[in-house]
Structure 1
């Protein structure tokens, strides 16, 4: 997590980092800290799990706002631009960012996966003191350097998220209609294999044929399976991973937009500009200038 000192509010703020979730969007990240506010929205290609242990936070999502208080837990798709714009002075939260390869290992109701990928947030207040102990422990074990402990932390977290849907929870969204076709489709091992291959190669020149071959599937079947399981195409997911890395490079480095495009896996600067506009609502150069001006108090 990259922090910067804001000259406006004299408190720490969050900035996307090249060594963080944006710069490495295929890694599993655990966290346990005071959540700093964000001066701008960010995005990353992981499912985010947040558990507020103390205080309160407020999120602005792509389609809805969300306030979380102590003892509440939520999950949402980080591929939508989102921003934590308020965090109480005493707030502490814990959780993780789950790449799709981990997310699709869980036994969630297919309709839940569809709504999450469509932009909904799932919220529960069914938490207890065990969560207060477990979330920090999972983070410590994941960063301990002990592979057995780290794997155990992941398995326990996945089971905890599964349990969320066995107890009362709320769906928070401005659009309750499920737009994805995945309400009747359970992700298969083929989707996991595709996610594995994409995670290892998204900065290279890969296409749907390469991804399908790596999973031992026919290209047309692979594309249809992935779309029904995630609500997006294979290429859209690859593009999102590249855009996640690109935003961190734009903020934290001084490379030209062309160099950022090339280093993020885009074949041309025009393709990069078009994709970036679609998610950020502005060209990469404007995004970089606006974020840096906000951080500097301009």
Structure 2
């Protein structure tokens, strides 16, 4: 694993926890191998995910996989923040729709207005999970699953279902269910590969290395990964490297050549090619645009 000097705290796990308090801005990004839910009350929250600023509005909720380096960079005065973390495996066992699962495993947050959560619900989850009794814990998990499902439904682009239906090979509920089931079965292995790639993207990683991390043949590993995430191992690795390069462009004054090397690109030209493909602009243009306060187009 790369040294912590890059400004990202080493990966860890929080497990099933729920707590609340005043948001504290983070001096550097961190990562953890859990699904995290954040609910903002009384103000907004702004996070840096990789190299992308994401705002959770007042009353909004975000869900994301914590393996992507993330950092709370801004919060309006008086904001109250509720956090909930749950093991990735728990979320995968829920067999969420394929689009939501791919978005989470792909390192992209789901953000939507708080999905019909009663005012005291989050506080009740906190009490139930801290009680140490299995029945309140089981009830809380069912309610959290329903919350995540509604968040996934409301936080995905409205055209997702229509586009999936139009492009579907089977155009049937049974076919969609089979695809979701295949992705859910592939999920745990794909999640471990994604975590390996996100953690080791600074290194000269190969498909075979990711496959070996879950004891699968490379060809089978590639199929499993695509079924769960909707993208290839190499494309996901490239996205991790671009996100790390974006973060370094925004938070350091290093040269682009140094950042390309630190982010894991084998050459400056490969960094530029990946950046143009993913971001639609060069690393230098990305840095200048963001420093000028303009958003990515």
Report the TM-score, using the length of structure 1 for normalisation.
0.60
Which range is displaced more, 237-246 or 184-193? 184-193
Tell me what 1:227 maps to: 226
Which range is displaced more, 243-252 or 158-167? 158-167
**Residues 104 and 222 of structure 1: CA distance in aligned 2, closer, same or farther (over 3 Å):** farther
Tell me what 2:286 maps to: 287
Structure 2: how far apart are the matches of 1:167 and 1:201?
33
Deviation at residue 264 of structure 1 after TM alignment: 0.8
Deviation at residue 261 of structure 1 after TM alignment: 0.6
Structure 2: how far apart are the matches of 1:258 and 1:98?
38
Instruction: Tell me, yes or no, if structure 1 residue 73 matches structure 2 residue 57.
Output: no
Instruction: Tell me, yes or no, if structure 1 residue 113 matches structure 2 residue 96.
Output: no
Instruction: Tell me, yes or no, if structure 1 residue 183 matches structure 2 residue 176.
Output: no
The question of whether the paired residues in 2 share the 8 Å contact of 1:108 and 1:165 is answered with no
Structure 2: how far apart are the matches of 1:264 and 1:156?
43
Matches within 5 A, 1:147-186: 161-165=144-148, 170-172=153-155, 173-176=157-160, 177-178=163-164, 183-185=180-182, 186=184
Please list every run of 5 or more consecutive structure 1 residues that lacks an aligned counterpart in the other structure.
1-16, 37-44, 60-64, 142-154
Structure 2: how far apart are the matches of 1:229 and 1:203?
23
Deviation at residue 68 of structure 1 after TM alignment: 4.3
**Residues 293 and 240 of structure 1: CA distance in aligned 2, closer, same or farther (over 3 Å):** same
Structure 1: how far apart are the matches of 2:226 and 2:101?
10
Structure 1: how far apart are the matches of 2:140 and 2:259?
34
The question of whether the paired residues in 2 share the 8 Å contact of 1:47 and 1:77 is answered with yes
Instruction: Tell me, yes or no, if structure 1 residue 269 matches structure 2 residue 268.
Output: yes
The question of whether the paired residues in 1 share the 8 Å contact of 2:61 and 2:111 is answered with no
Q: Secondary structure at the match of 1:237?
A: helix
Instruction: Tell me, yes or no, if structure 1 residue 254 matches structure 2 residue 245.
Output: no
The question of whether the paired residues in 2 share the 8 Å contact of 1:49 and 1:76 is answered with yes
2:80 to 85, 92, 99: 92
Deviation at residue 18 of structure 1 after TM alignment: 5.5
The question of whether the paired residues in 1 share the 8 Å contact of 2:20 and 2:83 is answered with yes
Structure 2: how far apart are the matches of 1:135 and 1:112?
29
CA-to-partner distance for each residue in 1:191-249, whole Å, 9 max, x for gaps? Answer: 23323432442211111122112211111111111111011111122222222221221
Structure 2: how far apart are the matches of 1:290 and 1:236?
25
Tell me what 1:51 maps to: 39
Which range is displaced more, 220-229 or 239-248? 239-248
The question of whether the paired residues in 2 share the 8 Å contact of 1:106 and 1:158 is answered with no
Aligned residue-pair number: 247
Deviation at residue 54 of structure 1 after TM alignment: 2.2
Structure 1: how far apart are the matches of 2:55 and 2:254?
35
Structure 2: how far apart are the matches of 1:212 and 1:190?
9
Q: Secondary structure at the match of 1:49?
A: strand
Structure 2: how far apart are the matches of 1:175 and 1:248?
30
Structure 2: how far apart are the matches of 1:286 and 1:96?
37
Deviation at residue 189 of structure 1 after TM alignment: 3.3
Q: Secondary structure at the match of 1:294?
A: coil
Tell me what 1:278 maps to: 277
Deviation at residue 270 of structure 1 after TM alignment: 1.1
Structure 2: how far apart are the matches of 1:234 and 1:129?
42
